[in-house]
């Protein structure tokens, strides 16, 4: 599958980026939802604009309870149908039996293995049959995302479109929109979490830290991706 990237004017709104991306994809487009503030904002923007946007989520088996609470709140508020994807049981069993429950902290290679089993492989199944997918990534979040485009070709997943409507937004803009529209928000944000993933790999950080410093805090900043967004 191959799509063409639409021309997006600098300073375009998230709604305009999302609309252009969905139109250019010319078929099914789904949001990869981790239930972050960014993803909830995108769901609200799509709902307000009357856009057809599917929603899927990856249940790694290690998510925070508070993350599931946000999922339930979104189902209630927007009558969402969330397509959940899970790791393959045999791979999880083999990993934990041979390497234990926290092998991902022993080396970057082990952490990538865990992310591949729990996230990357389920994502590959989630993206089968779609023309494009939407993420909540922003340039400001980390050094690994500083060159993001609003709409890109995802060559690793068959050349489908990858749409990043909030690419230019700041953390403050996301928070302000969330508060202004009274959107569901993970309770962990109030405890100092600023980027929320799997429970063993996420912790609270200071406001002076970079947003993703609480993810895999034992690793260098250039390694703080799970493999879902290889570039």
Please give the positions annotated as active site: 226
> Tokens representing 163?
């749409």
CB 54 within 8 A of CB 29: yes
In three-state form (DSSP H/G/I as H, E/B as E, the rest C), the secondary structure along 71-134 is HHHHHHHHCCCEEEECCCHHHHHHHHHHHCCCHHHCCHHHHHHHHHHHHHHHHHHHCCCCCEEE
Nearest to 14 by CA among 54, 36, 43, 56: 43
Which residues, other chains included, contact 202 with Cβ-Cβ below 8 Å and sequence gap of 6+?
64, 193, 195, 196, 214, 215
In a 13 Å sphere around the CA of 151, the CA atoms on its Cβ side amount to 27
DSSP string for 137-180: --GGG-GGGTT--SEEEEGGGTTEEEE-TTTT--HHHHHHHHHH
Any bridge partners for residue 132, and if so which?
A: 29, 161
């Amino acid at each position: 599958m191959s799509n063409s990237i639409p021309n997006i004017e600098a300073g375009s709104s998230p709604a305009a980026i999302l609309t252009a991306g969905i139109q250019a994809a010319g078929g099914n487009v789904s949001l990869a939802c981790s239930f972050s503030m960014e993803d909830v904002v995108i769901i609200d923007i799509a709902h307000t604009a009357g856009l057809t946007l599917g929603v899927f989520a990856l249940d790694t088996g290690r998510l925070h309870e508070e993350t599931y609470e946000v999922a339930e709140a979104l189902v209630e508020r927007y009558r969402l149908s969330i397509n959940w994807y899970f790791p393959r049981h045999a791979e999880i069993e083999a990993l934990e039996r041979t390497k234990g429950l926290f092998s991902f902290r022993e080396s970057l290679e082990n952490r990538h293995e865990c992310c591949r089993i729990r996230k990357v492989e389920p994502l590959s199944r989630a993206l089968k049959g779609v023309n494009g997918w939407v993420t909540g990534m922003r340039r400001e979040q980390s050094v690994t995302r500083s060159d993001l485009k609003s709409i890109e070709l995802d060559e690793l997943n068959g050349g489908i479109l990858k749409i990043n409507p909030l690419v230019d937004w700041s953390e403050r803009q996301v928070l302000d929109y969330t508060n202004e529209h009274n959107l569901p928000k993970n309770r962990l944000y109030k405890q100092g979490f600023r980027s929320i993933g799997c429970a063993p790999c996420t912790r609270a950080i200071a406001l002076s830290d970079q947003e993703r410093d609480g993810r895999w805090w034992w690793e260098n900043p250039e390694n703080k991706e799970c493999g879902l967004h290889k570039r």
